[in-house]
Amino acid sequence: MVECLITGKFDDSGSFPIDGKVVVTLDAPLIATDMTVHLPIPQEYPFTNGEFSFTLESSDTQQITYFFEVYNQLDDLSYPVEAIYSFHSVVPVLTEVNFRDLIPSQISTDQLPSNIRRLLQLIAFDPNYNNLLRWGRPAGFYSPSTPYVYGDIVTYDGSSYLCINENGALGDNPSIVENEYWQPLGIRGEPGTGTGGNDTPFSFAAWTSQTDAPTRNTLSNALIDRNDPRVVDLSDGIDLDTLPDDKLVPAKYLTKMSG
């Protein structure tokens, strides 16, 4: 087991050093190399002008956490009941560590597996893993005046692009040819070459010599009208004045005649 020197500095929100104390309590008994048993009894470490240092037995190998509580000293030299900052963490097997590098687990438990702590350290300090966590965030339609960061996904000219530059991109337009800023994800397809269809009223006379296809609306109207034997199509040249009483005129023609 290694004795680890823990150093650090505390400032308030206005960057002014504070006076206070750090209270440290083991979450479970810790057995030292000389077989001494360290009991979970709180130990106070006062500090002035924000700076402090104290020594603790490393606990990483035994997977036992310490509970750290930071108190600021009030004007009357007393301490508030509630700590201004607290967390649980193991102390690594190092001769010295900065207080800020003790990764808070935020888990109240007697034992924190060391592999969990290592995973937290890996995510926090390894830029490769950090970048992976930021990868693939939708950023809407591309704008040359918007600063983009690594992992942003934008839409530009009908295609989608991923920002692959670790320093981000500003004013560098995406291109279907990959560059140092953008990687194409989905490229817009080419327009189709078919015709748009024809809305000409459906009748034999109307469709004679036509080369394009009728639209869905035209076919729908034709099917509705032709399924009723009483319906006649005025586009076939039938005179409305001579129409028998048992025949019907499609509503689309009545609308035209009323206009």
pLDDT along the chain (259 residues), means of 10: 88 92 92 86 94 92 88 85 87 89 57 61 62 74 90 91 88 86 87 61 57 65 56 56 55 45
Res 165: pLDDT: 87
- What local confidence, expressed as pLDDT, does residue 93 receive? 85
> Looking at residue 20, what is its pLDDT?
93
pTM of the model as a whole? 0.42
Q: What pLDDT does 4 receive?
A: 92
pLDDT for the residue 194: 60
Domains (range + CATH), the chain: 3-125 (2.60.40), 133-186 (2.10.10.20), 204-258 (no CATH)
Q: Sort residue 209 into left (φ over 0), alpha (ψ -120 to 50) or beta.
A: left
Give the model's pLDDT for residue 254: 47
Task: State how far the alpha carbon of 242 is from the alpha carbons of 238, 245, 246, 247, in Å.
Answer: 8, 9, 12, 11
Decide: residue 89, CB within 10 A, 0-12 exposed, 13-18 middle, 19+ buried: buried
| Whether 117 contacts 103, CB under 8 Å | yes
Amino acid 259: pLDDT: 43
**How much is the pLDDT for 227?**
52
